[in-house]
A and B are shown apart, each in its own frame.
Chain A
Amino acid sequence: MNPTGPLFAGPAAAQGIPWLAVLPILVAVPAAAILLWGLVRGRLPPSIAAAGVLLPVAAYALGCLFMLEESKNASFCGSCHVMTPLLTSLHSNDGSLAAVHYERGLVPHDHACYTCHSGYGIWGTMDAKMAGVMHMVRTATGWYDLPLKLNGPFDIDSCLNCHAHAPSFRNVEAHQDPDLQKQLLSHELSCTGLCHPAAHPEAALTGKPM
């Protein structure tokens, strides 16, 4: 048994075939065969050419679907070097808000980053994906500053989605203060900083290995 892995995890085969990863390749193989044929012959019969257009497009559509789904994984977020220390800090039990949530299993381990950094509903997902594309642009061009900063105020709806109805949250006197609620909802105030520890340790935001 993996000492750090989840309990009650079945063998890999029990998960079934990872169709989202397999399908793009299954479609790409005949597409590549057709394109190779076109490369060698210099022309393609019309019916084969139609397949030569449609199959690569379909393979890419499936590839995009794969990316949309699999990019939710925390390991994907941590694969870029500036994010690696942030992922490492989740395991370090350093008292940061993210580490506390991760250690206590309050967020799904596989989707830990995505759970807090995407808003609610389909538009939250869309915003998160657009932000992800901008992260790729910034990583590819080196257009970022260290230490990393959140782009704009943190959407506290991500916190409230889980906490708002919890009795332990509602019973806190400060949370019942209407002025405080107003300040939080208008993003004048954040959950972290004054009342709760920072989401991530300062050292992890510098991009240097911890």
Chain B
Amino acid sequence: MMVRLACSLGLVALAILVLFVSRLEGATAIVFVFVGIPSLALALTIYVVYRWRAGAFRFNETSRVS
């Protein structure tokens, strides 16, 4: 569920990026900065939380180099 949400937000962000690059004007720049960038940041945050809950980024005995 979290991966799907992160991917959806990432796709929205990429769609905004393509729109902005193909049609550069004030309105698309505003959407790029205030919708696109936060969407991508939120997607990344959700994915990092998902990976953290799945056990990534944690230092434990099994990951210690002997």
Which A residues lie at the B interface, using CB under 8 A? Answer: 21, 24-25, 28, 31-32, 35-36, 38-39, 42-44, 49, 52-53, 56-57, 59-60, 63, 66-67, 70-71, 73, 76, 79-80, 83, 133, 136, 139-140
Contacts A31-B14, A56-B10, A76-B24 given; does A43 touch B3 at CB 8 Å: yes
A136 x B30 contact (CB < 8 A):
yes
B8 x A39 contact (CB < 8 A):
yes
Contacts A32-B11, A60-B13, A63-B20 given; does A38 touch B4 at CB 8 Å: yes
B25 x A79 contact (CB < 8 A):
yes
DSSP majority for the A interface?
Answer: helix
Contacts A60-B36, A63-B20 given; does A38 touch B3 at CB 8 Å: yes
B32 x A67 contact (CB < 8 A):
yes
B17 x A80 contact (CB < 8 A):
no
Question: B1-28 vs A: 1/0 string, CB under 8 Å?
Answer: 1011011101101110110111011110
- A-B interface, 8 closest residue pairs, ranked by CB to CB distance from nearest: A79-B25, A80-B26, A38-B7, A39-B7, A35-B7, A79-B26, A35-B10, A63-B17
B14 x A32 contact (CB < 8 A):
yes
Name the B residues within 8 Å of A76 (CB-CB). 24-26, 29
Name the A residues within 8 Å of B14 (CB-CB). 28, 31-32, 35, 56, 59
Contacts A21-B21, A35-B10 given; does A63 touch B34 at CB 8 Å: no
Q: Which of A28, A53, A70 contacts B17 (CB 8 A)?
A: A28
Total chain B interface residues with beta-carbon distance under 8 A: 31
B20 x A67 contact (CB < 8 A):
yes
What separation, in Å, do the CA atoms of A73 and B24 have in the docked complex?
10
Name the B residues within 8 Å of A21 (CB-CB). 21-22
Name the A residues within 8 Å of B8 (CB-CB). 39
Name the B residues within 8 Å of A42 (CB-CB). 1, 3-4
Name the A residues within 8 Å of B27 (CB-CB). 79-80
B21 x A63 contact (CB < 8 A):
yes
15 new A-B contacts at CB < 8 Å, known A57-B40, A76-B25: A25-B18, A28-B18, A35-B10, A38-B7, A39-B11, A42-B3, A43-B3, A44-B3, A53-B47, A66-B21, A67-B32, A71-B24, A76-B26, A79-B27, A136-B33
Name the A residues within 8 Å of B6 (CB-CB). 38
Contacts A136-B29, A139-B26, A140-B30 given; does A31 touch B10 at CB 8 Å: yes
Query: Can you list 29 contacts pairing A with B, beta carbon distance less than 8 Å?
Result: A25-B21, A28-B14, A32-B15, A35-B7, A35-B10, A38-B4, A39-B4, A39-B8, A42-B3, A43-B3, A49-B47, A52-B7, A53-B44, A53-B47, A56-B14, A60-B37, A60-B40, A63-B17, A63-B21, A63-B32, A67-B32, A67-B33, A71-B29, A76-B24, A79-B25, A80-B27, A83-B26, A136-B29, A139-B26
